[in-house]
Chains A and B, each alone.
Chain A
């Protein structure tokens, strides 16, 4: 382990966090929120001085191996969250530190699960709200990828860092140099966010009669949340009280941000055929099927708010886009929908977005490999001597990739089951959010979907953690379990697990 290099990178991360904190600071200045502002300035100052202190000396040996990359990434995310939670506590928005940490981790990991009740939310300072949403944007593409794009780090071994931070089973470069790849990804990300921001801003010039219209502030927060596929809303009812125009724009962009960013680069290079690879096609098919099934289902069962075909389609499309992209915005409380629709929504929560996007979940490419692996296994039972390779886009998938995807699924299931088990010790009292619902018995569904929502970085689950509710009622221990799940889910499980392996830390005495 290259401890000096880890320390140095962590210092750099702190300095960058100070830069990120400038966004709420500027917001605070504009809205003259002195109390919030002072909290953010204090934390930014702390990050900056601490960052300079521990990364003052550049280590001589900048060589990193795969293991160092994993450790750097997971420690950076933990440190980023620990510091990012401080302003919430200091300015009094979230008095409890564990709650603040939950909120920050939920932000950086683009989960969007909140512990802030909806009535409190709308009363919060602008600078606090924008910091919540901005953490989504930073976390979406990855913090270390951002650092890499700005700073010329050691160069060669940065691939290990990028691999540890980027979602998906395999990470490919767009251009020969890691740094330029990172720059291209961030430019695409930034430009798409900017387009979304202006489209949302356009809402102000449409007289839709909706309860809220998008101002600059609302548009910025919503754009950050959508781009990072995060899902923190700034209104108590998420996106529901905005106009249908805003909802449709959000639907489209949530889907766009859950497609592999390499595809956009390929489109720019006018390689359309390569851009629409099988992962993107399968993703779009899943989305189309889910939207059709749910809109028919909620239209036929005459759900309130989905009276016309158009409305049913709009709400179904929004919910599917929101959950498969693992954003977690809501327009209607899907908790109240029929079981068939809810089950489809839970299924797409697990599938998640495409690899190389800002979304979470298991990822479509892994699902493809797993399903093809299953089909191959069936075929091997019929023809035991058959030799067959799994192929994607006519290219064979290496056996290590298949192996790592299988290992990923096993790890995923184990962490998932373990977390649900740990959550079951939580003594909270179950109260059904449904009108006239059961008094008892919903804890399993609540715990199950809470873990689902956290490990897949979605946000809302079902029942007591549905889109209209929040996570505040969990005990601090449960919150820590969920914090771990969010980080593990965002960093693709293994970097977080590696932190707990004693051999990782072994050094010569």
Chain B
């Protein structure tokens, strides 16, 4: 597919790298020649220097033959303008990143009236992800499939867990729960958890199951499953704003700390129920005074990655509740894994994942349709959901007879309201949604998962 990406910031670069690796022809546009040079040295893409909203620049980038234009510059207005012009000039699909929450309420209006295929708001998406973790703090991250009917849960095994030293087979036999373990990360290694995989302390496990079964399973292995009751949020940015509105509905009481009086005033106006604290976020005393020992969760959402990391590490030493850290920069994420952080959210990764999912679904092959895509381990394992339509070659065959690639796992079949944890003699039927966990990146249809 021919894709134009306007804006070579971190999201633009990440997208270009991923989409290029999946075999698309990418042209990037940026006003800075330096940035274009840097990206073309790193990735096999073509660069055009210029204003992405200019018709001439878009022509030079080949908008006429393009299938998709993604506008991810810093400016919402520029992104929207890029999309409108591309739509007129090339009649391609367009995706704009729009972060201002003034526009956010009008997302659907913008989509319909300006003919955009998608409007993404990274802050809102991040807030939603944080809210999910707050509702189920035992997990490191939770992704949902099929509108929440199935969840992909990542968690870290504590040292006193009863399943340590047992194999996957034993655990399933012991607790008789239909959950499916997908992957385990141990240090820098990644394992696909087959039946004889033995759990060890500190393994990061990902698991797919419907929420109820997952909750029951967690109860059995002595995990707390209740939502947090209250949380301290440091930093009053857009994400915090969205998070407050979500949490208000969930009944989680929040304490927002920021050192800017204007920000505090705004929060006090918008969220009368929340406790807003005007104080220096960089001071230990403030956090201790506000009772970090007595809260269930701590969320670091300041504008600085370094501050977020330091605050979270400090919080980890003070209490054993949930700690969420927001990181903007995508570099050095391997180093972060060695820090004892709890949940880490990357707004930029979330944004690029959403766009990737859309691009994949544009490329879908006959007979299956991608619904959702999640990265379990960046660059190594992903989970995707396909809807199986009439005529797909996988219909009606028992799973044991499908010759799946060795690094692909069928994690769940959703039929109507029921969720089936697949066994060898189950079959896939038309209309089902199937979740695949795969070590091969870039599946575009279920047929990609089958040996040729």
CB distance from A2 to the nearest CB of B (A): 15
CA distance A176 to B47 in the complex (A): 8
B61, closest chain A residue (CB) = A176
Q: Which residues of A contact B436 (CB under 8 A)?
A: none
CB distance from B300 to the nearest CB of A (A): 34
CA distance A158 to B41 in the complex (A): 9
Structural contact, A177 and B41, CB atoms closer than 8 A: no
A402 at interface, CB cutoff 8 A: no
A429 at interface, CB cutoff 8 A: no
Structural contact, B40 and A175, CB atoms closer than 8 A: no
B26 at interface, CB cutoff 8 A: yes
Structural contact, A178 and B33, CB atoms closer than 8 A: no
Q: B1-16: which residues lie under 8 A (CB-CB) from chain A?
A: 2
Q: Would A159 and B46 be within 8 Å (CB), given that A177-B25, A398-B33 are in contact? A: no
Number of interface residues of A (CB under 8 A): 13
Q: Would A156 and B44 be within 8 Å (CB), given that A176-B25, A176-B26, A176-B27 are in contact? A: yes
B377 at interface, CB cutoff 8 A: no
Structural contact, A176 and B33, CB atoms closer than 8 A: no
B338 at interface, CB cutoff 8 A: no
Classify chain B: how many residues form its interface, as a range: 10 to 19
A173 at interface, CB cutoff 8 A: yes
Q: Which residues of B contact A178 (CB under 8 A)?
A: 44
CA distance A160 to B41 in the complex (A): 7
Encode contact with A along B27-48: 1 for CB under 8 Å, 0 otherwise.
1000001000000111111100
CA distance A172 to B40 in the complex (A): 10
A286 at interface, CB cutoff 8 A: no
B49, closest chain A residue (CB) = A395
Q: Which residues of A contact B33 (CB under 8 A)?
A: 398
Structural contact, B44 and A159, CB atoms closer than 8 A: yes
A155 at interface, CB cutoff 8 A: yes
CA distance A159 to B36 in the complex (A): 14
A121 at interface, CB cutoff 8 A: no
CA distance A397 to B183 in the complex (A): 52
CB distance from B13 to the nearest CB of A (A): 12
CB distance from B76 to the nearest CB of A (A): 27
Structural contact, A158 and B44, CB atoms closer than 8 A: yes
Structural contact, B44 and A155, CB atoms closer than 8 A: yes
Partner of B41, one of A155, A159, A173, A176: A159
A66 at interface, CB cutoff 8 A: yes
B47, closest chain A residue (CB) = A173
Encode contact with A along B41-59: 1 for CB under 8 Å, 0 otherwise.
1111110000000000000
A172, closest chain B residue (CB) = B46
Structural contact, B25 and A156, CB atoms closer than 8 A: no
B33, closest chain A residue (CB) = A398
Q: Which residues of B contact A177 (CB under 8 A)?
A: 25, 44
CA distance A66 to B40 in the complex (A): 12
Structural contact, B46 and A176, CB atoms closer than 8 A: yes
CB distance from A101 to the nearest CB of B (A): 34
Q: Which residues of B contact A155 (CB under 8 A)?
A: 44
Q: Which residues of B contact A158 (CB under 8 A)?
A: 44
B60, closest chain A residue (CB) = A274
Q: A17-53: which residues lie under 8 A (CB-CB) from chain B?
A: none
CA distance A173 to B20 in the complex (A): 15
A155, closest chain B residue (CB) = B44
Encode contact with B along A288-324: 1 for CB under 8 Å, 0 otherwise.
0000000000000000000000000000000000000
> Which of B26, B44, B45, B46 has the most CB atoms of chain A within a 10 A radius of its CB?
B44
Q: A163-196: which residues lie under 8 A (CB-CB) from chain B?
A: 173, 175-179
A274, closest chain B residue (CB) = B60
Q: A42-77: which residues lie under 8 A (CB-CB) from chain B?
A: 66
Encode contact with A along B98-140: 1 for CB under 8 Å, 0 otherwise.
0000000000000000000000000000000000000000000
CB distance from A58 to the nearest CB of B (A): 18
Structural contact, A175 and B25, CB atoms closer than 8 A: yes
A181, closest chain B residue (CB) = B46
CA distance A68 to B45 in the complex (A): 20
Q: Which residues of B contact A398 (CB under 8 A)?
A: 33
Q: Which residues of B contact A176 (CB under 8 A)?
A: 2, 25-27, 44-46
CB distance from B32 to the nearest CB of A (A): 12
Q: Which residues of A contact B25 (CB under 8 A)?
A: 175-177
B46, closest chain A residue (CB) = A176
Q: Which residues of B contact A160 (CB under 8 A)?
A: 41
A158, closest chain B residue (CB) = B44
> Which of A66, A160, A176 has the most CB atoms of chain B within a 10 A radius of its CB?
A176
CA distance A175 to B25 in the complex (A): 8
Q: Would A156 and B46 be within 8 Å (CB), given that A176-B27, A177-B25, A398-B33 are in contact? A: no
Encode contact with B along A309-344: 1 for CB under 8 Å, 0 otherwise.
000000000000000000000000000000000000
CA distance A407 to B64 in the complex (A): 40
CB distance from B80 to the nearest CB of A (A): 25
14 of the cross-chain contacts (CB-CB < 8 Å) are A66-B41, A155-B44, A156-B20, A158-B44, A159-B40, A160-B41, A173-B40, A176-B2, A176-B26, A176-B27, A176-B44, A178-B44, A179-B44, A398-B33
6 extra A-B contacts, CB within 8 A, seeds A177-B25, A179-B44, A398-B33 = A156-B43, A156-B44, A173-B46, A176-B26, A176-B46, A177-B44
Q: Which 9 pairs across A and B sit closest by C-beta, in order of nearness? A: A176-B46, A176-B25, A156-B44, A155-B44, A173-B46, A156-B43, A176-B45, A178-B44, A176-B26
